[in-house]
């Protein structure tokens, strides 16, 4: 019996690399391509990949990602690149008889003022957070692409394209570049630089009052494999044809102020934290309703305290550190 051939798009990113680490423990053949080998923005190149590689499953973790600053600075790139990546991969997969895809979306697709904890059916019920609206719209399109191909071609072609909706992720392989990083990686970098340069204070964007839910990327990867390999009837029982995604989160929320203090202590920085209230906070609160994924037997294993310490070690091990 031949091994399943699985393409992980975005295998060098934080989520993709975590999925690869788990897949390596299974009896499968993993297919990966870096940017020099494959331009995911090129429809022709993506078509050639699927035509020649005989792929059977896809984990679609490739995306252009970043924090508030990056989303505000490059909205055109965020919407265009993410739309193209998703459309090229999903359509090429369908045309080459790939029956299973798992698309990794983002909790930013939910309305800015959604009822908390956010249920899956909150999608498209209100206005998005303006600071990342282009990215969120692209991700919503990816969710609906998977949903639409499954609705139209499930019976005739056996198409079964699924989506997971993670909360804020962090961990090994994160991007620590100050210009386009997310909150945890940005704060780790900022406090570390302040520590080694002996700065008296560190400035954090916003009031520090928004609450966020964070999940270690290895826990996310385990949820991805669980959802991808769920029995079709179980997946259908826990989703709806037009609400087909499943939330994945830790069910633990923390204020940005408290998060900053925790990272400050882990890094060993002794100075003060200043909050720049002239900068945007983003969504005031964002915690996922995780009842479905937990009812399927999944539970996160890594606490935020443990995960932050591991993330700082990962940062220190990166070759570009200053």
What SS3 class is residue 296? coil
> For 10, left (φ over 0), alpha (ψ -120 to 50), or beta?
left
Nearest Cα to Cα of residue 13 among 117, 128, 104, 125: 104
Task: Write down the residue that tokens 């990166």 correspond to.
Answer: 318
- The counts of H helices and E strands in the chain are 11, 12
**DSSP E strand boundaries for 89-184:** 100-104, 160-166, 168-170
The single residue of 59, 110, 135, 269 carrying the catalytic annotation is 135
Q: Where is 234: in which H helix or E strand?
A: helix 232-238
At residue 166, what are phi and psi to the nearest 5 degrees? -80, 155
Residues 288, 291, 295, 301, Cα dihedral to 10°: 40
Say if residues 58 and 6 touch (Cβ distance below 8 Å). yes
Query: What DSSP state is assigned to residue 242?
Result: T
Does residue 135 carry a catalytic annotation? Answer: yes
Positions marked catalytic: 135
């Amino acid at each position: 019996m031949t091994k399943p051939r699985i393409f992980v798009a975005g295998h060098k990113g934080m989520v993709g690399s975590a999925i690869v680490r788990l897949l390596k423990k299974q009896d499968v053949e993993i297919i990966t391509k870096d940017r020099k080998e494959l331009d995911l923005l090129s429809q022709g190149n993506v078509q050639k990949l699927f035509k020649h590689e005989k792929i059977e499953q896809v984990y679609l973790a490739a995306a252009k990602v970043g924090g508030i600053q990056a989303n505000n600075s490059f909205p055109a790139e965020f919407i265009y690149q993410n739309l193209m990546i998703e459309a090229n991969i999903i359509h090429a997969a369908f045309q080459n008889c790939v029956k299973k895809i798992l698309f990794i979306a983002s909790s930013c697709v939910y309305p800015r003022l959604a009822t908390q904890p956010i249920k899956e059916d909150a999608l498209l019920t209100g206005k998005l957070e303006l600071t990342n609206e282009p990215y969120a719209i692209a991700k919503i399109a990816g969710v609906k692409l998977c949903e639409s191909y499954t609705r139209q071609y499930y019976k005739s072609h056996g198409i079964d394209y699924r989506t997971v909706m993670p909360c804020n992720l962090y961990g090994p392989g994160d991007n620590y570049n100050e210009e386009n990083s997310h909150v945890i990686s940005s704060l780790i970098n900022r406090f570390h630089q302040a520590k080694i340069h002996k700065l008296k204070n560190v400035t954090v964007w916003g009031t520090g009052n928004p609450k966020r839910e964070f999940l270690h990327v290895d826990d996310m990867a385990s949820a991805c494999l669980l959802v991808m390999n769920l029995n079709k009837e179980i997946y259908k029982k826990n989703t709806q044809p037009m609400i087909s995604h499943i939330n994945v989160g830790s069910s633990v929320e923390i204020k940005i102020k408290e998060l900053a203090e925790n990272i400050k202590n882990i890094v060993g920085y002794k100075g003060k934290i200043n909050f720049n209230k002239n900068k945007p906070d983003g969504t005031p609160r964002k915690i996922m309703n995780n009842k479905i994924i937990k009812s399927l037997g999944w539970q996160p294993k890594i606490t935020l305290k443990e995960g932050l310490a591991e993330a700082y070690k990962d940062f220190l091990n990166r070759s570009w550190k200053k």
